[in-house]
Amino acid sequence: MEVKTTKIKDCFILEPKVFKDSRGYFMESFNSKTFNTITGLPVDFVQDNESESTYGVIRGLHAQQGESAQAKLVRVLKGEVLDVVVDIRPDSETYLEHITVKLSAENKQQLFVPRGCLHGFSVLSEKATFFYKCDNYYNKESEVGIRYDDPDFDIDWQVSSEQALVSEKDLELPFYKDLKK
């Protein structure tokens, strides 16, 4: 596994080694010992989640706060997404910065999203199956989020506003400047 840094502190792109032959391929999708050695971040994942979405779906931007904060390791099993991470950790040197990374079944890249960062994605293919591991359990009371179209971040989701499919719940999220801190 190769681990690449991003401009957001403790947010990493993981590139697994893929072994292909006439039968197909094999890869180790995650190795805790290798990840901890390379990044210095001990992670113990406790919950796996999977979703399927169609072209134009935008999910996010979401996180959990406090004792229920979650780090995530995200990847795409089918299709392609634009994955987005926004750092809202006030004490972080990359506070209020964001990144976008294309994740696909083809490139097999994964993205580690650290605790305290908002996360979301847009679907760029006809359909996408999205899989992620969390290091803390889901807790509705600790949810926090901001609108995907927050003008202070000006994120290019690579989906036109006419084609964007966003849940009512996500459309009701505040802009970051209005987020209760």
Catalytic (active-site) positions: 62, 132
CA dist 123 and 108 (Å) reads 16
User: Which amino acid would we find at residue 125?
Assistant: S
Whether residue 73 contacts residue 133, with contact meaning beta carbons closer than 8 Å, is answered with yes
Cβ-proximal residues to 9 (8 Å cutoff; 6+ apart), any chain: 87, 92, 93, 94, 114
Determine contact, residues 134/47, Cβ cutoff 8 Å: yes
In sequence order, what DSSP letters do the residues of 111-173 get, joined into one string?
EEE-TTEEEEEEE-SSEEEEEEEESS---GGGEEE--TT-TTT----SS-TTT-B--HHHHTS
